[in-house]
């Protein structure tokens, strides 16, 4: 099946083919099935389909920046920062989206989790030295001309993207629409209902918090060092109550409903972006198969 046909099938499964000119739906969208969720790795959302896998994103960025460094070389310049491919990729797409939900992480309290499943930061780009002002200006397009030669629109970085078949940020418009869905879901009365249920459970356990955010941001936990026994106890009660009321499952179902609505309303933008991502990845894979994109 061709990529375009596959994409249209995916759009039908995600929420139909409504036109972008259709006015927004009124009222909270109906929920589909509500899964029981107790781990961040179990959270998947409709708009995730419109972002590349981190492995593919790495390949695209490395290939684009290889082409961008070729552009720089045409001006007799280099660029001293280059991306690195990660050694492994996380199975967690939305870490911490609904706060602490995994019983296995309670021992960390509310501090940052640097776990083997990929909660840690992505690989840092290699930087031999800071770029000079001129290098940065040609790379980003702050200069329109350098030593009599015209700089490509948007600089060599944008030129590298164009040579791989794209111009947009890899995660646009997914991130924009996902942020909109989160805002809508926060205002949904069903979100308030499940939060009240969680708060009532916490009260029974001896904690007076109106929301999970209040529990996580308690000033007693915002100190350096390992979590105190009191913090671990609060985290255990928090996760236990979330499990009891299926907090993450309900929140995921609500957010999924709004994302499906946005997929319907923005079908054209999302289709165009997904097809561009497919083309960029194909070109990146072809380039990587022929040259060492990390060598230039």
Q: Which two tokens stand for residue 228?
A: 């105190």
Reported pTM: 0.85
**Which residue in the block uniquely carries the two structure tokens 């936990």?**
221
Lowest-pLDDT choice from 69-83, 111-125, 132-146, 174-188: 111-125
- Asked whether 12 and 270 are in contact (CB, 8 A), the reply is no
Integer Cα distance of 73 and 69 in angstroms: 6
Average pLDDT taken over every residue of the chain: 90
Which of the four pLDDT bands, split at 50, 70 and 90, describes residue 122? low
Residues in the chain: 296
Cα dihedral across residues 155, 157, 161, 164: positive or negative: positive
- Asked whether 20 and 269 are in contact (CB, 8 A), the reply is yes
Whether the per-residue pLDDT at 191 is higher than 70: the answer is yes
Query: What is the arithmetic mean of pLDDT over 28-35?
Result: 95
- Asked whether 139 and 79 are in contact (CB, 8 A), the reply is yes
Q: Which residues pair with 150 in a beta bridge?
A: 145
Neighbouring residues of 69: CB distance < 8 A, sequence distance ≥ 6: 78, 79, 82, 156, 160, 296
Cα dihedral across residues 228, 42, 173, 15: positive or negative: negative
Which of the four pLDDT bands, split at 50, 70 and 90, describes residue 24? low
Neighbouring residues of 144: CB distance < 8 A, sequence distance ≥ 6: 150, 151
**Which residue in the block uniquely carries the two structure tokens 């809508």?**
184
Q: Mind giving me the DSSP string for 57-115? A: HHHHHHHHHHHHHHHHHHTT----EE----SS--S-SSTTBTB---GGGGGGTTS----
With H, G, I as helix, E, B as strand and everything else as coil, classify residue 145. strand
For 63-84, write each residue's pLDDT tens digit.
Answer: 999 999 999 999 999 999 999 8
- Asked whether 212 and 99 are in contact (CB, 8 A), the reply is yes
């Amino acid at each position: 099946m061709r990529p375009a046909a596959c994409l249209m099938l995916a759009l039908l499964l995600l929420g139909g083919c409504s036109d972008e000119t259709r006015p927004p739906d009124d009222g909270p969208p109906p929920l589909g099935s509500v899964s029981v969720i107790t781990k961040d790795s179990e959270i998947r959302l409709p708009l995730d389909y419109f972002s590349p896998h981190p492995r593919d994103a790495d390949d695209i960025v490395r290939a684009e920046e290889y082409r961008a460094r070729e552009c720089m070389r045409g001006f007799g310049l280099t660029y001293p920062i280059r991306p690195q491919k990660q050694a492994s990729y996380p199975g967690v797409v939305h870490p911490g989206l609904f706060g602490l939900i995994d019983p296995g992480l309670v021992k960390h309290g509310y501090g940052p989790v640097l776990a083997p499943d990929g909660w840690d930061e992505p690989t840092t780009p290699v930087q031999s030295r800071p770029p000079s002002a001129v290098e940065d200006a040609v790379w980003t397009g702050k200069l329109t001309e350098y030593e009599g030669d015209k700089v490509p629109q948007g600089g060599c970085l944008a030129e590298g993207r164009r040579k791989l078949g794209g111009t947009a940020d890899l995660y646009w418009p997914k991130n924009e629409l996902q942020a909109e869905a989160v805002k809508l879901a926060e205002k949904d009365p069903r979100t308030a209902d499940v939060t009240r249920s969680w708060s009532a459970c916490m009260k029974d356990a001896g904690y007076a918090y109106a929301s999970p955010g209040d529990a996580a941001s308690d000033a007693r936990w915002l100190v350096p060092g390992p979590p105190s026994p009191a913090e671990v106890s609060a985290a255990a009660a928090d996760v236990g109550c979330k499990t009891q009321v299926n907090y993450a499952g309900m929140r995921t179902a609500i957010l999924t409903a709004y994302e499906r609505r946005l997929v319907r309303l923005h079908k054209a933008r999302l289709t165009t972006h997904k097809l561009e991502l497919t083309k960029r990845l194909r070109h990146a894979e072809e380039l990587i198969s022929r040259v060492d994109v990390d060598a230039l």
